[in-house]
């Protein structure tokens, strides 16, 4: 097991290294004068040259890369050209905001997806199964940006139940500001006893989280159904049924447990899907997370920030997959 984890970590590092090369050289291949952007305003030529020296942009690209990587290992991602703050600081504030959406959506997708898939499997072939099949097919295939807009249209424009955008009512940002502890506004507002902000954040989260949840939920429900059906027709289930084990025990102890392995893989993949989708959702709901930050960084060619984002998202993705593999091994010892 230790060897397995060590191997995975080695692979992970190699992957991140490859990612860093790709992103660094691609982002620098885009036309754009980084030094001039850093100076801003109606920059004067002398100032641009000075900034070029300051930022080390006069050195050859590979030297710049090595220097960047050297600093990265010391936990320094450089200074954002746009916000002029350390990228790490920016990210440490933005990532929790996104993870809050992603994790909540993931938990919901799992907690709802598996039972829904189970129900469809139990009532296979009935109208219940048909309805769930159609629902999950729609959930998987609807583009996220369209879904997000649809939710806004329905629940803000027509029904007026939920706010259009943002994380907190503007006024509350001043009367009940959330103190920054973990960066997770849910946790921070709860820990500091700021219930007004807590409920307001929850209210603002409903639509973006719903938009994010639906896709993975459909995915997980479909997979649970088909895997369960597959497992339930295996010989050992038949044998167990023949020996008089009750259907409930049969279903939960023998069926679901054995169906879990592929479902776990899908959950790992869902993290990646959610990380990607949150970019769209954050733009549409004006959520101040990593997606919004990334868009601003890309359009202003803020390459230290772009590097930082690619690195961090890449790491989260790879880590999620590794974690899934480890959990799968625990659940199913047959996996080598």
Rounded Cα gap, residues 24 and 22, in angstroms: 6
Which range in 36-44, 145-153, 248-256, 268-276 contacts another protein by CB under 8 A? Answer: 36-44
Which range in 110-118, 159-167, 255-263, 326-334 contacts another protein by CB under 8 A? Answer: 159-167
How far is CA 53 from each of CA 29, 49, 271, 303, 327, rounded to the nearest angstrom?
19, 6, 41, 16, 49
Q: Which of 39, 290, 307, 320 binds another protein (CB under 8 A)?
A: 39
Which range in 31-39, 108-116, 146-154, 221-229 contacts another protein by CB under 8 A? Answer: 31-39
Contacting another protein within 65-104 (CB under 8 A) = 82-85, 90, 93
Q: Which of 15, 16, 37, 323 binds another protein (CB under 8 A)?
A: 37
Nearer to another protein, 127 or 174 (CB): 174
DSSP for 109-148 reads HHHHHHHHHHHHHHTTTSHHHHHHHHHHHHHHHS-HHHHH
- Report if residue 29 touches another protein, rule: CB under 8 A: no
Which range in 65-73, 133-141, 165-173, 201-209 contacts another protein by CB under 8 A? Answer: 165-173
Rounded Cα gap, residues 40 and 48, in angstroms: 9
- Report if residue 31 touches another protein, rule: CB under 8 A: yes
Q: Which of 164, 206, 319, 323 binds another protein (CB under 8 A)?
A: 164
Segments in the chain forming alpha helices (H):
2-29, 34-39, 45-54, 61-73, 87-122, 127-141, 144-152, 170-175, 185-191, 195-232, 235-242, 247-249, 257-285, 290-299, 303-331
Question: Quick one: tokens of 291?
Answer: 């997606």
Q: Which of 2, 175, 233, 243 binds another protein (CB under 8 A)?
A: 175
How far is CA 229 from each of CA 115, 118, 222, 269, rounded to the nearest angstrom?
14, 9, 11, 22
- Report if residue 174 touches another protein, rule: CB under 8 A: yes
- Residues in binding contact with another protein, number by CB under 8 A: 40
What is the sign, positive or negative, of the torsion defined by CA atoms of 301, 306, 308, 309? positive
Question: Quick one: tokens of 278?
Answer: 């949150």
Q: Shortest gap between Cβ of 67 and another protein (angstroms)?
A: 21
Residues that bind another protein (CB under 8 A): 30-33, 36-37, 39-48, 50, 82-85, 90, 93, 164-166, 170-171, 173-177, 179, 286, 288, 296, 299-301
């Amino acid at each position: 097991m230790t060897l397995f984890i060590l191997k995975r970590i080695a692979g992970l590092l190699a992957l991140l290294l490859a990612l860093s090369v790709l992103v660094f050289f691609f982002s620098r291949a885009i036309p754009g004068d980084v030094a001039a952007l850093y100076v801003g305003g109606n920059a004067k030529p002398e100032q641009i040259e000075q900034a070029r020296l300051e930022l080390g942009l006069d050195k050859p690209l590979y030297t710049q890369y090595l220097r960047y990587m050297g600093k990265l290992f010391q936990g320094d991602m450089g200074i954002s050209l746009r916000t002029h703050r350390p990228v790490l600081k920016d990210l440490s504030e933005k990532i929790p905001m996104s993870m809050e959406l992603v994790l909540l959506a993931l938990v919901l997708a799992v907690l709802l997806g598996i039972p829904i898939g189970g129900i469809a499997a139990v009532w296979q072939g009935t109208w219940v199964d048909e309805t769930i099949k159609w629902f999950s097919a729609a959930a998987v295939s609807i583009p996220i940006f369209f879904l997000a807009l649809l939710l806004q249209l329905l629940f803000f424009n027509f029904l007026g139940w939920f706010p259009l955008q943002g994380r907190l009512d503007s006024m509350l940002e001043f009367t009940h500001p959330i103190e920054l502890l973990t960066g997770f506004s849910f946790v921070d507002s709860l820990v500091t006893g700021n219930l007004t902000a807590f409920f307001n954040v929850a209210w603002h989260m409903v639509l973006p989280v719903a938009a994010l949840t639906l896709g993975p939920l459909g995915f997980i429900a479909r997979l649970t159904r088909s895997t369960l059906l597959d497992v339930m027709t295996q010989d050992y289930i038949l044998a167990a049924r023949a020996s008089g084990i009750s259907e409930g025990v049969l279903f939960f102890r023998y069926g679901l447990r054995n169906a879990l392995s592929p479902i776990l893989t899908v959950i790992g993949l869902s993290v990646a899907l959610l990380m990607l989708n949150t970019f769209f959702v954050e733009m549409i709901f004006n959520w101040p997370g990593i997606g919004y930050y990334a868009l601003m960084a890309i359009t202003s060619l803020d390459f230290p920030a772009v590097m930082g984002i690619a690195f961090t998202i890449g790491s989260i993705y790879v880590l999620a997959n590794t974690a899934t593999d480890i959990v799968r091994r625990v659940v199913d010892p047959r996996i080598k």
